[in-house]
Structure 1
Amino acid sequence: MRITTKGQVTIPQDVRDFAGFQPGTEVEFLIGEDGVVRVIAAGQGPRARDRRLGAALAGLRGSADTGLSTDEIMALTRA
């Protein structure tokens, strides 16, 4: 296998079949601490997990509004 001057490489059919890569599949390249480069379907790696977590937290932001002031909440916790 050879990388073209544009940085492209053809993934062999048996590897595409094994990985479930279909035409149009977006992929990510991950570099492990062991120095091994992995190709995975986009949305399956740790970066995707971080994005999903960030989106979930953003969706929760401001949802715990109790209608109480900070001083009222502190008074309740100290009572």
Structure 2
Amino acid sequence: MRVTEKGQATVPKNVRRKLGIVPGNAVEFSLRGDVAILRPAASSDPDREVADFMAHIRRHKGSMNPGGMTGDEFFKLLRN
């Protein structure tokens, strides 16, 4: 990965997915010795958190296949 003249780099898709980073999210960088750490920025805006969560849900709408189970059967499976 290369860094542009403006200091920009693309966060790989698997890293964004693992951290739950979506377009519009803020991120924080910190240093631990000579290692840079990237993490989602702490949010103090509950409305933004809800909006981000709903955007995440919309992106995955229709992508789950519960194998013929009803919603109730699926949630019962999750609880057990």
TM-score by length of 2: 0.50
Q: Distance in 2 between matches of 1:29 and 1:12?
A: 15
Map of 1:1-79 to 2, 5 A cutoff?
Answer: 1-32=1-32, 34-43=33-42
Which residue identity lines up with residue 40 of structure 1 in the other structure?
R
Secondary structure of 1:30's match? strand
Larger Rg: 1
TM-score by length of 1: 0.50
- Please give the root-mean-square deviation of Cα atoms over the aligned residues, in Å: 1.9
Pairs aligned (count): 44
Secondary structure of 2:30's match? strand
Identity of aligned residues (%): 41
Which residue identity lines up with residue 8 of structure 1 in the other structure?
Q
Question: Which runs of 5 or more residues in structure 1 are unaligned?
Answer: 49-79
> Deviation above 4 Å: which 4+ runs of structure 1?
none
Secondary structure of 1:10's match? coil
Q: Distance in 2 between matches of 1:27 and 1:12?
A: 14
